Amino acid sequence: MADTTMSPPGTGGSAAGARPSLFLRNATGLVKAWSTFDAFVYAFWSVNLITLGLYGMSFVYTVPDGQLLVAILLFGVLTTFLVITYAMLVSVMPRTGGDYAWQSRVLGGGLGFVLSITGWWFTLFLWAPIYANILNAQFFLPLAYTLGWSNVATFFTSASGLFISCLIVLAFVSVVVTLGMETYARIQKICFWIGLVGLAVVCGLLLFASQSDFHSAFNREAASLFGASGDAYQKTIDAGTKAGYAPHDFGFFSLGPVFLLLPWLAFYLLWPNWGATLYGEVRGAKDIRKPFWSMFWGLWVTIAMVAVVMILVVKTMGWQFYNAANAAFYAGTAPVGTWPYPVMFAGWLVDSHLFQALLIVVMGLWFFGWAGTLFLSSTRVIFAAAFDRVLPAWAANISAKRRVPYGSLVLMIVPSIIISAIYSYVPKFQSVFLDATAVLAVTFLATVVAAIILPWRRKDLYDASPIARYKVAGIPTITVVAVITAIFLLFMLYEWSFNSSNLYGTAFQSTLNSVYYFLATYVVAIVIYVVARIVRKNQGIDLARIHHEIPVE
Amino acid sequence: MPRIFFATDLHGSETCWRKFLNAAKFYEADILICGGDMTGKAIIPIIEENGHFTYTLGGDPQVVAAAEVVEVETQIRRKGYYPLRVSPTRLAELDQNAEVRGDVFRQVMLEGVKRWMELADEKLGGTGVRVFVCPGNDDEFEVDDVIRSSKLVELGEGRLIDIAGFTMISTGWANPTPWNTHREESEERLSERIEAMASQIKDLSRAIFNLHTPPYRSGLDEAPAIDADLRLLHGGRALRPVGSKAVRDAIDRYQPMLSLHGHVHEGKGAVTLGKTLCINPGSAYEEGMLMAAIVNLDAAKGVKSYQLVNG
């Protein structure tokens, strides 16, 4: 019932002095455009600078000669093509289900189901433990250490502690889904503004302190909270170097290593389109500018912020210390035995544990304003597959009273609990989780391929869309930008899968468990589709015809 | 046994209407049901000036020669808008005078519906396919008369209709919306309207409710939340149930075997409320995509199977 209107309902369409280009009558659904800022907040959370961002960048020490700022800028430029591709797809087919709907309609129902369901359903199981890891590293552990609750800290470093964190994440996500997006959107906005204030405090502390101030503060708190003796700052650098980190100046530039940083940055910067699966609920999405600008600014504001934060980290903590601290932590040899959380370190510049704890809590809002949407897109994809009768109808069931999508929640939560237990108690499977980014990139790639061929494969839809008039040298713009995006994604997929030194911990030759796991997910997806086709055929339903276009003439 | 093809909320899209009619052959359907809101929401003026014509269709203004205007009009109709050739003077009059604008809207809408009825006669006359239309809350009352004059298309509003041994009741009336459209009334009045038809059905296990508005809190009625100024809240992600409590009560009480709905384009889905399968196929008329439901009926089982399609 909802449409976007170019002029107030029931009036002519003219602005003062301009000719009207359409006349609208009073009809249901003629609403005014949604706020780009609201959608921006969602995209901004999806490329979360603090949670995913700081966590992802704790691995850049593995490419010590890569210039981080150049890599971030390059990633931003290349991801902008992804943003344009998705904004154009939203404009052509603003349907709930996003990747699933686009892939199904362009590539075919079976292929669309297998590729999107593996990414947005099966792989999202893996993200629950990743979120829990971040919750531990950025909230529970630093808070417990700061408040001197060593038993609590010890518990959360154990397998059971990690599993409990996973359960907390899943419970939080379930509550958010139950509350509904309207309530959570309000929570997100509160978290957004308070989180920004917290970030400003962190930046202020780093800006006005010198490296020697930080050196002293680090040694003081390392001794006070972790019992580290002597010059813990220097010992951290030494431990990092011993762990294999080869120090380079922050300003060092070499083109090749810049590209090697991109797959690490994908961990947080590849997701400005995370909300694209929801745009079907926004009729205003038909206007390409809204989804484009919301995703674009979500991406680039984050890039600007991460640049500022990293420059301040380099200025006050030191680039070699930052990288060495991460290298030493992952080697298990750091004098400060917790993940090197820059926010916690910045808090140490103020000699007050109460202030430090408060800063960690405030910055924790970056987690709680973000984590609630973990399964939101997944539930939409499951809905879309259930409506297409590929999944059973109960998968899209909603409870009558609270409107909780319990069918899709069960399909997400139950496997996530099992996967979380495996992650927590079977360490040899942890390489599987490093592939979580890569599998989503495969899903994006399939969507991008759909975008490349859309103008020919679904000419009717494309010609009827507002983007049909955008061409580059006679070639549809969506095809051009999607080809660039595909090359970008293929490069990263190649590096994740075949990097000869297993830089990202995901190379096929070193992580056979991951290969088997993900092959299994694709096989399961194929089996579900084939079984669905057989079962539905017996019910007189031909799944192949869902997306067949009826002739117009 | 009969196969129903149900689509709704075509909102003036001629592409969707043509697909709707062709769906009978394409899906081997015996009965076509259009759930309401047939008429478009906007007029696109094509301004005739100095021998050329200017129009704007989702982008920058385009200027075409007289020979191209017919093709432009076809394009506009296919997207669900009404083309209207006007002089600059007439354009200014339409812009300034709401009464004149209302008259013109009514005229182009009724002409559009008349053309659709003729198309239906032309395409499906003599095939044995039955076509039902039940105007929705966005359709003006005069639309009913145009449908009644059709040789083939049957008007559903307010009637009990026998479909191969199944009984269908229909109404396009809706509970109040922020837009104050043509067929809106209080939940109480809507309840009485449905009751008047439903109470006459002899076998509810073989009954079909064709009610434009979806049942309240069914998941088929979730629309983006808006504020008092009709502005979408929270980036359009916040959804609220906007369906009818009267429709929900009627389904809960009478438990027909099938209930067909539209009205909320974003509410695509199928849910079971007690014994009743409720379907809202959604609408993507602007894209020229016909979202629809195919329902296979069975004398013994009632609803044998269903499928939502994007044709």
pLDDT at A145 (0 to 100) = 96
Look at residue A123 in the predicted model and tell me its pLDDT.
Answer: 86
B91's CB contacts (< 8 A; 6+ apart) are A19, A20, B45, B47
- Maximal C-alpha separation, chain B: 67
Contact B238 A388 (CB under 8 A): no
Q: Who contacts B173 (Cβ-Cβ below 8 Å, separation ≥6)?
A: B137, B183, B184, B185, B190, B193, B212, B213
Asked if the model's pLDDT at residue B127 lies above 90, the reply is: yes
Quick one: pLDDT band at residue A30, thresholds 50, 70, 90? low
Interface test with A, best of B232, B268, B305 (most A CBs within 10 A): B232
pLDDT tens for residues B132-182?
Answer: 999 999 999 999 999 999 999 999 999 999 998 999 999 999 999 888 888
Site from B41, B213, B249 to mutate, A interface, most A CB atoms within 10 angstroms: B41
Measured in angstroms, the CA of B57 and the nearest CA of chain A are apart by 8
Contact A22 B18 (CB under 8 A): no
**In the structure encoding, which two tokens stand for residue A388, read together?**
């297409």
Q: Name the residue among A25, A284, A461 with its Cβ closest to that of B105.
A: A25
- Grade residue A406 by pLDDT with cuts at 50, 70 and 90: confident
From the list B41, B236, B308, the residue facing A388 with the nearest CB is: B308
DSSP conformation class of A548: P
The answer to whether A385 contacts chain B (CB < 8 Å) is no
What are the tokens at A477?
A: 């713009």
CB contact under 8 A, A22 and B44: yes
Cross-strand partners of B34? B7, B133
Task: Name the residue with higher pLDDT: B60 or A524.
Answer: A524
Angle at B246 between CA B244 and CA B252, to 5 degrees: 105
Tell if the CB–CB gap between A1 and B266 is shorter than 8 Å: yes
Q: Is B137 on the interface with A (CB under 8 A)?
A: yes
Band (pLDDT 50/70/90 cuts) for residue B310 is confident
What would the pLDDT profile of A376-402 be if each residue is shown by its tens digit?
778 878 888 888 889 998 888 877 676
- Neighbouring residues of A332: CB distance < 8 A, sequence distance ≥ 6: none
Share of chain A above pLDDT 90, in %: 55
pTM assigned to the model? 0.82
Computed over every residue of chain A, the mean pLDDT equals: 88
B window 59-78, beta carbon within 8 A of A: 59, 61, 78
Q: Which residue has the higher pLDDT, A221 or B226?
A: A221
How many CA atoms, within 13 angstroms, populate the side-chain half-sphere of residue B79?
Answer: 22
Helix, strand or coil for residue A24? Answer: strand
Q: For strands B269-273 and B160-163, give the pairing.
A: unpaired
A435 or B6: which leads in pLDDT:
B6
Chosen for mutation from A3, A5, A25 (greatest number of chain B CBs closer than 10 Å) is A25
Q: Is residue A251 less than 8 Å (CB to CB) from chain B?
A: no
Coil, strand, or helix at residue A88?
Answer: helix
Beta-strand relationship, B276-280 and B258-260: parallel
- Say which residues have a Cβ less than 8 Å from residue B221's Cβ, sequence separation at least 6: B213, B214, B215, B241, B242, B243, B244, B263, B264, B267, B280
* Selection from A277, A280, A282, A275 nearest residue A33 by Cα: A282
Cα distance between residue A278 and residue A97, in whole Å: 7
Confirm or reject contact between B279 and chain A (CB < 8 A).
no
Mind listing the pLDDT tens digit for each residue in A452-477?
Answer: 999 999 887 888 787 888 999 999 99
Q: Which residues 118-147 in chain A show a CB within 8 A of chain B?
A: none
Higher pLDDT, A109 or B193: B193
Shortest Cα–Cα distance, B195 to chain A (Å): 23
Average of pLDDT values for A87-103? 81
Secondary structure string (H, E, C) spanning A364-422 = HHHHHCCHHHCCHHHHHHHHHHHHCCCCCHHHHCCCCCCCCCHHHHHHHHHHHHHHHHH
Tell me the nearest-neighbour CA distance from B203 into chain A, angstroms. 25
Give the distance from residue B145's alpha carbon to the nearest chain A alpha carbon, in angstroms. 20
Containing A471, the helix (H) or strand (E) segment is: strand A471-472
Residue B37's pLDDT band, with cuts at 50, 70 and 90, is: very high
CB contact under 8 A, B105 and A23: yes
How big is chain B, counted in residues?
311
**Does the pLDDT at position A11 exceed 60?**
no
Predicted confidence (pLDDT) per residue in A510-545, tens digit = 888 888 888 999 999 999 999 999 998 888 888 888
Cβ <8 Å between A9 and B179 = yes
Q: What is the CA radius of gyration of chain A?
A: 24
Our CA-based measurement puts residue A352 at a distance from the nearest CA of chain B, in whole angstroms, of: 38
Whether the CB of B44 is below 8 Å from some CB of chain A: the reply is yes
Q: Could B224 and A31 be called an inter-chain contact, meaning their C-beta atoms sit closer than 8 Å?
A: yes
Residues of B in contact with A92 (CB under 8 A): 287
Indicate whether A3 pLDDT > 60.
Answer: no
Can you give the pLDDT at residue B27?
92
pLDDT score of A8 more than 50: no
Q: What is the pLDDT of residues A238-261, one digit of tens each?
A: 999 999 999 888 888 888 899 999
DSSP H stretches of helix in A283-336: 289-316, 319-331
- Report chain B residues whose CB lies below 8 A from the CB of A393: 270-272
Contact between A350 and A125 under an 8 Å Cβ cutoff? The reply is no
Q: Can you name the residues that pair with B298 across neighbouring β-strands?
A: B302
Pairing of strands B42-49, B81-86: parallel
Kindly state the helix (H) or strand (E) to which residue A475 belongs, with its residue range. strand A475-476
A396 touches chain B (CB under 8 A): yes
Closest CB to B58 among A466, A536, A551: A466
3-state secondary structure chain B: CCEEEEECCCCCCHHHHHHHHHHHHHCCCCEEEECCCCCCCEEEEEEEECCEEEECCCCCCEEEEHHHHHHHHHHHHHCCEEEEEECHHHHHHHHHCHHHHHHHHHHHHHHHHHHHHHHHHHHHCCCCCEEEECCCCCCCCHHHHHHHCCCCEEECCCCEEEECCEEEEEECCECCCCCCCCCECCHHHHHHHHHHHHCCCCCHHHEEEEECCCECCCCCCEEECECCCCEECHHHCCEEECCEHHHHHHHHHHCCCEEECCCCCCCCEEEEECCEEEEECCCEHHHCECEEEEEEEECCCEEEEEEEEEC
SS3 A523: helix
Mutual angle of helices A123-135 and A159-179, in 10-degree steps: 110
Q: What is the distance in angstroms between the Cα of B132 and the nearest Cα belonging to chain A?
A: 19
Tell whether A539 lies on the interface with B, counting CB pairs under 8 A.
yes
With the C-alpha atoms ordered A408, A2, B263, A460, is the resulting torsion angle positive or negative? negative
pLDDT in tens, B198-238: 999 999 999 999 999 999 989 899 887 877 777 777 766 67
Contact residues, chain B, for A39 at CB < 8 Å: 235-237
Q: Tokens representing A259?
A: 């590209």
